[in-house]
Copies of this chain bind each other. A is one copy, B any other.
Amino acid sequence: MEKTDVLIIGGSAAGPVAGVTARKHYKDSRVTVIRKEKEGQVLVPCGIPYIFGTVGAPEKNIIPDALLSGNNIDLIVDEATSIDREAKTVTTAKGNSAGYEKLVLATGAAPIKIPIPGRDLENVFFAIKDVDYLNGLLKALDGVKDVVIIGGGFIGLEFGDELRKRGLNITIVEMLPHCLQLVFDENFCASAEDKLKERGINIRTNARVEAILGQKKVTGVKLADGEQLKADLVFMCIGVRPSTELAQKAGLQIGETKAIWVDEYGRTSDKDIFAAGDCAEKRSFFTAKASALKLASIATTEGRIVGANLFELRRRNEGIIGGFATVIGDSGLGLAGLTETQAKAAGFEIATSEAKTPDKHPGSMPGAKQFAVKLVFERASQQILGGQVSGGSTVGEVVNVLAALIQNRTRANEIATFQYGTHPFFTPSPIVYPIANAAEAALLMM
């Protein structure tokens, strides 16, 4: 039996980052990752939609194993099947076992497959993080003309946008009144839908899928209102469910969101076992309540927290803010923190404001796109709770500007005098820098 100081189960985002962080904080520890994926086969999770249009192949969307070897982290390619918490060992599908001082569960999450008729037909696919599976999907796309995507969240929209680049006929079916409704306020959702339509993508909102049609292979999708959509291929992406089988079998506590319960240091109910990433329960930065939000970026931040805490508690998880961006055509959309809807639902008394201007200056700069930001503030403290942004290629880092302001609980007055830098090619004009302008407008309402 191998014995290691730090054993990490899972090779995607949280696991390797926990390993790299452990290597830095506990230099002499032996750190081992055990994962199912073969050498060179761990997919960049957020890159999966881009395999099908922009990048071209799963093999071009890989997290290099040099991340492990370069940090002196051992790799075992195998599947962990059970944990013996008393003996502090993990056994594997190949019949091996490995001992640990500290164990990190980074087992991730798996796509939810809604139990509707036709779900198992040929050419029905899910966002499964597996190179062979996605190569199967890539191959299946040859000869396909009509695609129905079930689920109008980020992955559905990104997948649809990429397949549209192949000239396919795409319909996105969303149960709620708007695509992206769980992550944006209505006007941002509407702007995303406009952009999808401009790209020639069909949208059915307020629409529930009753059945996937076909004999052996999918031929269509039937909606609850009776409409039938033609489909040679269906992609279902309505969310993920934390992978907690291993933790449950080991008797670890499960949280409200059905993820593995962890304390603010990332420890499970067993103090020698940590959990991070999609499998671990999260709490909101704003309310401290359990949150089901799952993002690769959150997983890596949790990896950075857990990796530092293994042998000594060095970092508290202050709760998740949630920052992310997406792209439709060449337009970007992003959010950090709470939307107006979410803030109200959480019970905050808020003030909101919006500002708009080109994302380059002067507006006559070639390639300038409209940049719009909406900020949400808590009235009593005047602290920023969230920001939504639409624009071009800078939207991802604007989300991070907002995230930095939120993480520091920055007040409206401080944001109104935020010391931004600007450049004609890269940012809006300093005279109307929209984050400062929106903060000023909100301040005067509070």
Q: Which residues of A contact B (CB under 8 A)?
A: 13, 16-17, 21, 24-25, 44, 46-47, 50, 54-55, 60-63, 67, 285, 295-301, 304-305, 314-315, 317, 320-327, 332, 334-336, 361-362, 364-366, 393-401, 403-408, 410, 413-414, 416-427, 429-433, 436, 440-441, 444
Contact = CB atoms under 8 A, between A and B. Distances in A.
Given A297-B421, A297-B433, 5 more contacts: A296-B431, A315-B416, A335-B421, A396-B427, A397-B398
A421 B399 contact: yes
Contact of A407 (B403, B419, B432): B419
A440 B321 CA distance: 20
A362 to B, nearest CB: 5
A423 B334 CA distance: 10
A401 B421 CA distance: 10
Nearest to A395: B426
Contacts of A401: 397, 400-401, 404
Contacts of A17: 431
B422 A46 contact: yes
Contacts of A362: 44, 47, 55, 60-63
Contacts of A334: 421, 423
A304 B425 contact: no
A419 B321 contact: yes
Contacts of A325: 421-423, 426-427
Contacts of A426: 325, 327, 332, 393-397
A24 B444 contact: yes
A104 to B, nearest CB: 15
A44 B429 contact: yes
Given A16-B431, A305-B417, A365 B54 contact: yes
Given A54-B365, A397-B427, A408-B404, A304 B422 contact: no
A430 B238 CA distance: 23
A404 B418 contact: yes
Contact of A419 (B297, B365, B393): B297
